[in-house]
Structure 1
Amino acid sequence: MELTVLGCSGSGPGPRSPSSGYLVRAGDSTVALDLGNGTLGALHRYLDPFQLDALVLSHLHPDHCADVASLVVYRRYHPAPPYPPAGRRLPVYGPGEAADRLAAQYCASTAERCVEDLTDVLDFQVITDALTLEIGGCQVRARLGVHPCESYATRLEHEGRSLVYSGDTGACESLIDLARGADVLLCEATWPQVGPHGEAQPEGVHLSGREAGEHAAAAGVGRLLLTHIPVWYDSAVLLAEAKSAYDGPVELVSAGASYEI
């Protein structure tokens, strides 16, 4: 498998990166994990969005799904699509509210309830805890994380190699269980262990750099890739925290970087 970072800026796009979005090539299949603000533009550098085989959304915060609206425009109104508009719809795997929430995001603001329907170009499939499915030749498993909204970590396996993406989550055993023995853990590290004024970080929202390292160590993963760092935090601090808790290879991802798995 190959992982390409479309964007990795936490909570919103930054000056050097779009928000969260990752492209995974597994054999002949191409799967996008999240499609946050600015990531569709980056996707064009690697393939025509019509060539995408599936999109998996960890959750429905805008920094992980905002560019779905632009993807709909591209697939719906492209003047020369590779197949008829009523042809192949893109499978989109996400939380149960994805179809309605993304339709509301797409439609113009009116006094009346939005009635936009995206199912002419998107085929929505619901993710649930402990779901197992196959996308192309890639086996995919999902586990529910801990976040203010429904959010899932996913594990992709292909020909004996494995990648786990945390999505957004606070500390949880489900992420450790899902990541156990994985070759790579792509894990959020959103803030330092202690806030800038010495305060404890809130529980059930995000992982610190140290917690990302602790989860990687507990799961026995082969490599830890840190992502989702907001522009207002020093990434070097979060990297140092992760290294203090995990003695395997660990690095910060960057937009445009690719990793063989």
Structure 2
Amino acid sequence: MRLTVLGCAGSFPGPEAACSAYLIEADGFRLLVDFGSGSLSALQRYAGLHAVDAILLTHLHCDHMLDACTYVVVRRYAPDGPYPPLPVYAPAGAPDRIATAYNISGESVDDVYTFYGLQPGSFPIGPLQVTVDRVNHPVETYGVRVEHGDRVLTYSSDTAPCEALLRLAQDAHVFLCEASYLDGVDNPPDLHLTGREAGEAATKAGVGRLLLTHLVTAWGSEASTFEAAASSFDGPVEIVRAGARYEV
């Protein structure tokens, strides 16, 4: 598999990165995991306007799904379109959420997307075997484990520490994990991870490589987050950047 980071900023786009969006490719198939604010621009820059065969939205906060609304225009009104409906795997409420954000009248987007409701479990998307489970976040949110052959990529989505995250990340070759909060401050509970907590999860799950994402750089410190993660995980640690590519 190949992972391309289209966006990695936490909560709102940063000066150098859109919000969460990650393109996973295998055998010519391209799965977009999350489609956050600003990431449609990055999709064109790093992959291509139509470089998507399916979409998985881990939850319905704007920084993880809002550009799925903008993408309606791309597929519905393209000069060589309209394009056929694109499979979208998402939490309950996604059709109404996207339709309402796109058009306040609640116009259906069923001509653009075919929706499949997420539930904990495993299922194929193209050549990929995908496992999702509910993680610790205020809205219905799923962490994601993607397998292809004998390779495993796990994505935390947004979560505080929880057992589901450890199960999804168990023995993953690459663990793409959020690290929104700074250690040593009074953070709200049951919302996000710190760098130390991301490193601890990576250690407990026995992952091969830890990639830190979803940092809110305007309010945090990349250096402190990296140091905290590296202090609790002995393997390779990296803070991802928009446009970065990784072979899994």
TM-score (norm 2): 0.97
2:110 pairs with 1:124 = no
Deviation at 1:41, TM superposition (A): 1.0
CA distance in 1, matches of 2:168, 2:179: 18
Q: Which residue of 1 aligns with 2:50?
A: 50
Q: Which residue of 2 aligns with 1:214?
A: 200
**Aligned ranges 1:28-177 → 2 under 5 Å:** 28-81=28-81, 85=82, 88-108=84-104, 114-129=105-120, 131-177=121-167
CA distance in 2, matches of 1:49, 1:116: 23
Q: Which residue of 1 aligns with 2:26?
A: 26
Query: Does the CA-based 8 Å contact 1:16-1:255 persist in structure 2?
Result: yes
Query: Does the CA-based 8 Å contact 2:8-2:241 persist in structure 1?
Result: yes
- Structure 2, unaligned runs of 5 or more: none
Query: Does the CA-based 8 Å contact 1:181-1:219 persist in structure 2?
Result: yes
Query: Alpha carbon RMSD of aligned pairs, Å?
Result: 1.1
CA distance in 1, matches of 2:238, 2:48: 29
Deviation at 1:208, TM superposition (A): 0.5
Residue identity (%) = 47
**Aligned ranges 1:243-254 → 2 under 5 Å:** 243-254=230-241
Query: Does the CA-based 8 Å contact 1:29-1:135 persist in structure 2?
Result: no
Deviation per CA, 1:13-32, whole angstroms, max 9, x where unpaired?
A: 01010111111111221000
Q: Which residue of 1 aligns with 2:178?
A: 188
Deviation at 1:45, TM superposition (A): 2.4
Single out whichever of 38-47 and 97-106 deviates more from structure 2: 38-47
Amino acid of the residue matched to residue 88 of structure 1?
P
